[in-house]
């Protein structure tokens, strides 16, 4: 009976030890797989966040910041424009319109889908204005028109597009730098 007891006990211990070892190996393998999946998830998330931030920085720095400032500049000049003023019309309005139009065309890849249609209307307005400017102010043109306007020709300045662009620039700035940047 003593030998049977020790034989059964030793067999039980070896069997349970083997079972425990196999179970531990399986759990370790499962935990390693779960850990790798979690690490992959967070690495992909970090890459997405980095990509979003890189887009936001490029969009604000290369497109929406300069467009917003140029629109503010031409808007203020437009408010001072009471009679024919070649400096305001040529140096501020024309150059500003040309700058914004060309920048929107060159950096179109930074325009989010919800702004494409309003930006297209804005570009159309700038094209019409620049065409009318060329007709009225070209060297040798016999025009005494006090202003170059294309609103009456069906191309009014699209205020909604301007508001959306300014709001999007502010959103980018807020997302990147927080509210403090906008207050200061």
**pLDDT one-digit tens code per residue, 108-151:** 999 999 999 999 999 999 999 999 999 998 876 767 888 898 99
Residue 130 resides in a domain: yes
The whole-angstrom separation of Cα 68 and Cα 89 is 19
Give the whole-angstrom CA distance, residue 159 versus residue 97.
14
pTM higher than 0.85, yes or no?
no
Residue 41 within a domain: no
What's the CA gap between 174 and 135, in Å, rounded? 42
Kindly report the backbone phi and psi dihedral angles of residue 150, in degrees, each rounded to the nearest multiple of 5, phi listed first: -120, 0
118 within a domain of the structure (yes/no): yes
Assess if residue 2 is contained within a domain: no
Phi and psi at residue 148, in whole multiples of 5°? -100, 110
Number of domains in the chain: 1
In this predicted model, what pLDDT tens digit does every residue of 60-109 receive, in sequence order?
A: 999 999 999 999 999 999 999 888 888 999 999 999 999 999 999 999 99
Distance CA 179, CA 110 (A): 23
Lowest mean pLDDT among 53-57, 70-74, 86-90, 161-165: 86-90
Whether residue 24 is contained in a domain is answered as no
In a domain, residue 4? The reply is: no
Amino acid 155: pLDDT: 96
- Please count the residues of the chain: 184
Residues with Cβ < 8 Å from 144, sequence gap 6 or more? none
Asked whether residue 67 is domain-assigned, the answer is: yes
Of the candidates 149, 105, 104, the one whose C-alpha atom is nearest the C-alpha of residue 131 is 149
167-184 average pLDDT score? 83
Q: Tell whether 116 is covered by a domain.
A: yes
Supply the range of the domain harboring residue 86: 54-183
């Amino acid at each position: 009976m003593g030998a049977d007891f020790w034989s059964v006990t030793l067999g039980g211990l070896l069997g349970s030890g083997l079972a425990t070892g196999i179970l531990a190996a399986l759990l370790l393998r499962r935990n390693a797989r779960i850990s790798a999946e979690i690490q992959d998830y967070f690495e992909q998330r970090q890459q997405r966040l980095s990509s979003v931030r890189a887009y936001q920085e490029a969009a604000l720095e290369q497109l929406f910041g300069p467009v917003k400032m140029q629109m503010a500049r031409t808007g203020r000049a437009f408010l001072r424009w009471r009679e024919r003023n070649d400096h305001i019309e040529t140096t501020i309005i024309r150059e500003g319109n040309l700058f914004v139009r060309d920048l929107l065309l060159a950096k179109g890849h930074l325009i989010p889908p919800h702004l494409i249609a309003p930006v297209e209307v804005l570009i159309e307005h700038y094209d019409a204005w620049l065409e009318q400017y060329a007709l009225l102010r070209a060297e040798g043109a016999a025009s005494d028109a006090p202003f170059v306007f294309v609103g009456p020709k069906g191309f009014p300045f699209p205020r909604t597009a301007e508001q959306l662009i300014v709001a999007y620039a502010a959103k980018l700035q807020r997302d990147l730098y927080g509210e403090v940047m906008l207050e200061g």
